[in-house]
Each structure stands twice: as structure tokens, then as C-alpha cells.
Amino acid sequence: PTIESDRELDEKLESVSMEYNYLLASQLETQRVFYEEQINKVNSVYREELSRCEAQVQELGKDRAIKAEQIRVLDVEKRVLERKLQASHEKGTGLTKELGFLKEVNASLIENQKDWQEMKKRMEEAVAGKDARIQEMKKRMEEAVAGKDARIQE
């Protein structure tokens, strides 16, 4: 081994080393481009999915707001209906009490009517008896007057 052959060997080693470095750099660049493309694809899919999710979140937020408003309106309607139900219940209770009172009054009026009818019947009988007596007295007076007139004419 001579110096020249050492130099040739060094040059060959350097040439192989440079070619290896070039191939390695080239391969690394190709891999870098490939993985950047993969990352970009993943980022693109991620951004699309994120946009879709954000749109879905916005839609769900709108739906939630609509549902919350519907619940609020239904809650107000429920309170109004509960007040109406309570008022109807109280009115029904009042009407039931009034019905009981009116039934008592009606029963009392029916009883009073019977009493008045009996009293009317007795009075009518009394009046009829007095009318008969008056008629009898009139007849007697007429007879007495007629007898007196007949005596006066004799």
C-alpha cells in the first residue's frame, strides 16, 4: 500500500460516502415530503371534521335554545293552566256548597208550600163555612123581612 493507493482509497471512500450522503439526503427528503403530505391529509381531515363538529355544535346550540324557549313557554302555559285548574276547583267547591244550600232552601220552600197549602185549604174551608153561614143569615133576614112585610101588609 502506497500513498497513492491510500489516496485513491480515500477518494473512493469519500466518493462512496458522498454518494451515500446524497442518497440518504434524497431518501430523507422523499420521506419528509411523503410524511408532510400525510400530515396535511390528516390536518385536512381533522379540519373538515372540526368544521363539521363546530357546525353540529352550533346547530345543537340553536336546537337547545329553541328547546329552552319551548320549555319556558310550556312552563308558563302550565302555570296558567294550573291557576285555571285551581280556580275551577275552587269554583266547583263553591258551586257544590251553593247547590247544597239551594237544596236545603228548596226543601224548606217545599215544606213551607205544604204548610201554606194546608193553611189555604183551612182558610178556604173557613171562608166557605162563613159564606154558607152568611148565605143562611141572608136567607133568614130575607125571610124575617118578608115575614115582617107580610105582617105589615095584613
How confident is the prediction for the chain on average, in pLDDT?
Answer: 93
pLDDT at 119 over 90: yes
**Mean pLDDT along residues 39-49:** 97
DSSP secondary structure code for residue 1 in this structure: -
- How far is Cα 144 from Cα 148, in angstroms, rounded to an integer? 6
Cα separation values, 44 from 37, 39, 40, 47, 49, Å: 10, 8, 6, 5, 8
DSSP 102-142: HHHHHHHHHHHHHHHHHHHHHHHHHHHHHHHHHHHHHHHHH
pLDDT, residue 147, reads: 82
Q: Strand, coil or helix: what is 17?
A: helix
- How far is Cα 25 from Cα 19, in angstroms, rounded to an integer? 10
pLDDT, residue 151, reads: 76
pLDDT at 104 over 70: yes
**Mean pLDDT along residues 67-72:** 97
Task: Report residue 110's pLDDT band, with 50, 70 and 90 as the boundaries.
Answer: very high
Largest CA distance in the chain: 215
DSSP secondary structure code for residue 154 in this structure: -
| Closest to 61 in 3D by CA, of 73, 45, 69 | 69
